């Protein structure tokens, strides 16, 4: 992808103009709702239907960046559940090296928040619910593998903890349900606040160009023609 912002915008504009008016309108509407202020980290999920449901929820909520940590289990997506959501997301894959991926997220300015069961909420670390979690800086919410949750290293690397209050006997949500409940509330709070949560114009242009490339089979040839004409 070109680095120059002006070239990226030029190509994005040129390719976007080749889409139908309905597709252009939808793309602009979706872009206006996209955010990187909230991000999701999925650590070592092994059930493809859970992973896919998480992606589908994030895409529907406008959460653009998903960080996938692969340890014992390779990342798998079930297309029947995903419904094409992963095509529109920025999916970042990391090895199970906590200092590495935690450092990457910190460099990007994220507050790291570990989701935990209620009995893990009091461990000497400040714990919140989706109603009380501070959102003034970008937040990356970590969700752990099915059954056992986040690794000890991931928990240790987080700034805050978050739990979902429950009223039943099981005291447990499926991970995709926990993610949906958590991220939907955080996204609502973020959009209702005065936080500058929208994508910068340069990010929006790059994302629009990526999406156009996925929609147009001849995008390489079309881009070459646009640049030659310019």
Percent pLDDT > 90 in the chain is 80
With cut-offs at 50, 70 and 90, classify the pLDDT of residue 122: low
With cut-offs at 50, 70 and 90, classify the pLDDT of residue 42: very high
Higher pLDDT, 146 or 21: 21
3-class DSSP string for 146-211: CCCECCHHHHHCCCEEECCCCCCCCCCCCHHHHHHHHHHHHHHHHHHCCCCCECCHHHHHHHHHHH
Total length of the chain: 230
pLDDT at 169: 84
Q: Which pTM was predicted?
A: 0.92
Buried b (16+ CB within 10 A) or exposed e, 122-144: eeeeebeebeebebeebbbbbbb
Can you tell me whether residue 36 is helix, strand or coil?
Answer: coil
With cut-offs at 50, 70 and 90, classify the pLDDT of residue 1: very low
pLDDT at 154: 93
**What does the pLDDT look like over 141-188, one tens digit per residue?**
999 998 888 999 999 999 999 999 888 888 789 999 999 999 999 999
**What does the pLDDT look like over 48-74, one tens digit per residue?**
999 999 999 999 999 999 999 988 888
Q: Which domains, from first to last, does the chain contain?
A: 1-34+198-230 (no CATH), 35-196 (3.40.1280.10)
């Amino acid at each position: 992808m070109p680095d120059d912002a002006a070239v990226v915008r030029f190509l994005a504009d040129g390719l976007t103009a080749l889409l139908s008016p309905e597709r252009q309108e939808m793309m602009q509407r979706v872009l206006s709702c996209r955010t990187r202020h909230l991000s999701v980290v999925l650590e070592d999920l092994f059930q493809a239907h859970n992973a896919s449901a998480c992606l589908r929820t994030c895409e529907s909520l406008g959460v653009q960046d998903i960080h996938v940590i692969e340890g014992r289990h390779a990342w798998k997506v079930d297309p029947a559940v995903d419904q094409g959501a992963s095509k529109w997301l920025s999916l970042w894959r990391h090895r199970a090296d906590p200092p590495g991926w935690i450092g990457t997220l910190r460099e990007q300015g994220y507050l790291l928040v570990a989701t935990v069961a209620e009995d893990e909420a009091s461990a000497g670390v400040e714990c919140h619910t989706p109603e009380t979690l501070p959102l003034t800086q970008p937040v990356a919410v970590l969700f752990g593998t099915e059954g056992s949750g986040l690794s000890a290293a991931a928990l240790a690397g987080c700034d805050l903890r978050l739990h979902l209050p429950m009223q039943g006997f099981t005291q447990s949500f499926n991970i995709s349900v926990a993610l949906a409940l958590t991220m939907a509330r955080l996204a609502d709070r973020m959009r209702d606040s005065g936080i500058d949560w929208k994508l910068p114009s340069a990010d929006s242009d790059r994302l629009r160009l990526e999406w156009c490339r996925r929609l147009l089979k001849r995008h390489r040839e079309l881009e070459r023609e646009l640049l030659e004409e310019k």
